[in-house]
Chain A
């Protein structure tokens, strides 16, 4: 988000289905949309905006694998090499009895790693001051932000397009 410019045109919508439809219309009219903000998840919105599919699943899988390997290493090192013990007549390294540990650490690494990745990739943190195009987008409104510097059309034209596709109001927002 470093290349953010200052002038945005923000279309405010009242309904999630309207905004979803408007995204397609505005794009078809040749306007580049910066981002859409909503109070809840709108399914299909990221596809309509052309956002690439999230790779969070890959990250989650890698963290899970690292959890499994760490647990294997921990149990193997402590019970097989560092201080072998025979308990309950089992081998010093007996895989079945370590399954619970391996499973729990897999889940733990996966969950924490994935959530950490999510926070980092979305730039979320306790000291982050978010760019809010309209404070009502966490309540009941849906905002479509259009970066004026990255569009060739002029303000009036874009405003017309937004209004035609169902925006209840169009505001100019400067940062």
Chain B
């Protein structure tokens, strides 16, 4: 008996030593260098609800990516049919992601061959229908192609958003895929959540399009643009409401160039006549393309369109070499800087929408920590006083076990790198209230055995032994519901589930095994004839 007490004391000693090591980084700052070189240096991670910050879930509109992909395929198909000399065929997009190919009877077999041979990424949306003129094919992206387009859209969005957040400068952001089409973003300690959202959520599709000055602007606005043209509006600048008039433009729908050729984007400060601008530095291919475009369209107006807003539409005075272009517009220096960030990081392959946002300011987080601490201290004091009043000596043993319990629990939180949230603190408080259940079960049992006439020593042994099944069962059931909660919950709630489950482990460890060490020591040391319980 003596021997095993010693072994257990050593085991708990080692556990406590490890716990201290894991807790030091949280409570001692700064850490000495020799510590960080080989000992854990991570503090307990606070959830966004305690340290302040933004939690965002973005939904990537993958259907839009699919649509624009289909649109591109439609263009390719039109070209291929023309090149291969299929006469009188028309290719149109219907119902979102279906292409309808109308072919006169003469070309049906050739088109069938082309579709099969050159467009393996397409599948039949429905069986071809014969029409008076010939045959209508209905094609859409094949299943594999569809999946890869969707996956690409999400992966590319993740990558782009990661770039933007990096440039935005947030420490320890979390950016990850969530579910099929969502992206989870956590930005701790962010000061201006609106700006972050603007930067992250901007599609940033940059296009260069020619202005059609020959078109009748008024008529195009009123009754729709002529074929191959579109009406887009000017960028109103920040702060202007939707009510203000925006300048309409009639543009050629085809984009001559897009933002994919951008190598770098820089803010140029205001000059005398104009506000700040963003200078684009194009890569080599982009530079050549831009030179070609400008030389072919001298004296015409080239509109610079970002997310379907015309920022400016300067007249091309001469061929522009050197791969530089600049966007001017009605914006201030802050907006110019944000614009340069999104242009540098690249466009999102599909628009994104905010599906969930939870932003907590830093002062609220601190308040929550204080409230959590206060309720912990008050709640724990109640429990301690009650246990000692009710069980006297045995109550004191239970209280010491409880203190170790909380100590191990917080150390485990730090060691496992779990995130502590406000509900998580509530979980710790609750654990304090529930943990004594094990000691209550044991002590009640010991009292019963004593009443039944057993000697102190065997009463203690029987008490622990007989109470154990009930203790284990009740902790397992609580643990199970904690696991379900962890599966279900988001952010803060997960934090609660984690502390609940960790608390159960440490409760069994301390209330059952640690408290027993004391009694076994007493039993071993001398004949234990009376027990305060």
Query: Are A and B genuine complex partners?
Result: no
* A contact residues vs B (CB 8 Å cutoff): none
